[in-house]
């Protein structure tokens, strides 16, 4: 359902911005655009069809009211209508799975403790393989780190035994890792790796990625290639800012007939 997808396509609040007036009955996700950790939480919330509000915060000039909200001052931060504040994306994700688990909301973690532990271990395993190589390409933007990322992707591919990393259906593992795979192929292309080589080396990962994107919640929480290119170009020019590629993202959402008024 397109109408339930909440996006982060809005400008970030900065040092001098006042705290926005929000609906006290709807949970708030403090987020920062194009952060994989924040994307992870928006993905889970959208896949569960939870109503929430997004407040984007600039990590380069954080608003005064944001500083001190948590001990680490990082995004994402969850603020429930009951006043509970949670940070660290893995902790938020597990908390959301526990509070939004009744019939109305889709469950992503198995109930069985052992199966649940296995899914979490799988996330740990994949993140250990992928997190640093993705970050390295984003920072160094050279062919060598691109090749290392492609190697890492092919090691992850060996773990894909079914349609999804969680099994036959999209589940916890897929949602937790997807943000790194949203950008990875475009990062590779940006540093000069041929698209066909990517498709040949990690075709099963690319097919999984397409299966993920066929879910509207995933699609509208993802960023198109042009946004990733704009982010890398801004970094290269040492001109990164919180609203990088915002207009490109808005155009992409408009193209998919998404209008902000659709959000809850």
φ, ψ for residue 198 (rounded to 5)?
A: -65, -45
Span from 85-93, 118-126, 130-138, 177-185 in contact with ligand GSH (CB under 6 A): 85-93
35 in contact with ligand GSH (CB under 6 A): yes
d(CA 166, CA 44): 14
Provide the minimum distance between the beta carbon of 179 and ligand GSH in the complex, in angstroms, as a whole number. Answer: 10
223 in contact with ligand GSH (CB under 6 A): no
φ, ψ for residue 126 (rounded to 5)?
A: -70, -40
Q: Contact, 148 vs 133, CB < 8 A?
A: yes
Q: Which of 17, 33, 74, 79 binds ligand GSH (CB under 6 A)?
A: 74
d(CA 2, CA 220): 8
Span from 1-9, 74-82, 130-138, 164-172 in contact with ligand GSH (CB under 6 A): 74-82
32 in contact with ligand GSH (CB under 6 A): yes
Which CB, 116 or 135, lies closer to ligand GSH?
135
Query: Cis link prior to 184 (omega < 30° from 0)?
Result: no
Tell me the number of residues near ligand GSH by CB under 6 A: 11
Across the chain, which distance is largest between two alpha carbons, in Å?
50
88 in contact with ligand GSH (CB under 6 A): yes
Q: What is the dihedral of CA 245, 210, 180, 172, to 10 degrees?
A: 120
70 in contact with ligand GSH (CB under 6 A): no
Span from 17-25, 88-96, 98-106, 198-206 in contact with ligand GSH (CB under 6 A): 88-96
Provide the minimum distance between the beta carbon of 38 and ligand GSH in the complex, in angstroms, as a whole number. Answer: 7
Provide the minimum distance between the beta carbon of 191 and ligand GSH in the complex, in angstroms, as a whole number. Answer: 21
Q: What is the dihedral of CA 159, 162, 165, 168, to 10 degrees?
A: -160
233 in contact with ligand GSH (CB under 6 A): no
Q: Which of 28, 75, 150, 193 binds ligand GSH (CB under 6 A)?
A: 75
Q: How far apart are the first and last CA of the chain?
A: 12
89 in contact with ligand GSH (CB under 6 A): yes
Q: Is 55 helix (H, G, I), strand (E, B) or coil?
A: strand
Q: Is 71 helix (H, G, I), strand (E, B) or coil?
A: coil
Span from 31-39, 103-111, 165-173, 240-248 in contact with ligand GSH (CB under 6 A): 31-39
d(CA 70, CA 61): 16
205 in contact with ligand GSH (CB under 6 A): no
For binding to ligand GSH (CB under 6 A), which residues are involved? Answer: 32, 35, 37, 59, 73-76, 88-90
């Amino acid at each position: 359902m397109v109408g339930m997808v909440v996006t982060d396509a809005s400008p970030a609040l900065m040092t001098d911005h006042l705290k926005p007036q929000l609906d006290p009955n709807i949970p708030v996700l403090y987020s920062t655009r194009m952060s994989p950790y924040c994307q992870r939480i928006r993905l889970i919330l959208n896949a569960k069809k939870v109503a929430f509000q997004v407040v984007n915060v600039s990590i380069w000039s954080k608003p005064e009211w944001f500083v001190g909200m948590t001990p680490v001052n990082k995004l994402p931060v969850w603020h429930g209508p009951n006043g509970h504040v949670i940070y660290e994306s893995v902790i938020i994700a597990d908390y959301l799975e526990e509070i939004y688990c009744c019939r109305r909301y889709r469950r992503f973690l198995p109930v069985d403790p052992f199966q649940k532990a296995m899914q979490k271990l799988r996330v740990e395993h994949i993140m250990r393989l992928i997190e640093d190589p993705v970050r390295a390409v984003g920072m160094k933007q050279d062919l060598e780190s691109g090749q290392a990322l492609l190697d890492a992707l092919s090691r992850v591919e060996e773990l894909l035994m079914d349609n999804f990393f969680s099994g036959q259906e999209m589940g916890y593992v897929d949602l937790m890792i997807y943000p790194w795979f949203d950008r990875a192929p475009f990062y590779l292309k940006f540093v000069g790796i041929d698209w066909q080589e990517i498709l040949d080396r990690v075709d099963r990962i690319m097919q999984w990625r397409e299966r993920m994107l066929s879910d509207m919640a995933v699609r509208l929480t993802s960023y198109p290639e042009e946004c990733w290119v704009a982010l890398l170009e801004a970094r290269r020019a040492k001109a990164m800012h919180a609203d990088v590629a915002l207009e490109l993202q808005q155009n992409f959402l408009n193209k998919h007939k998404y209008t902000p008024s659709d959000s809850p």
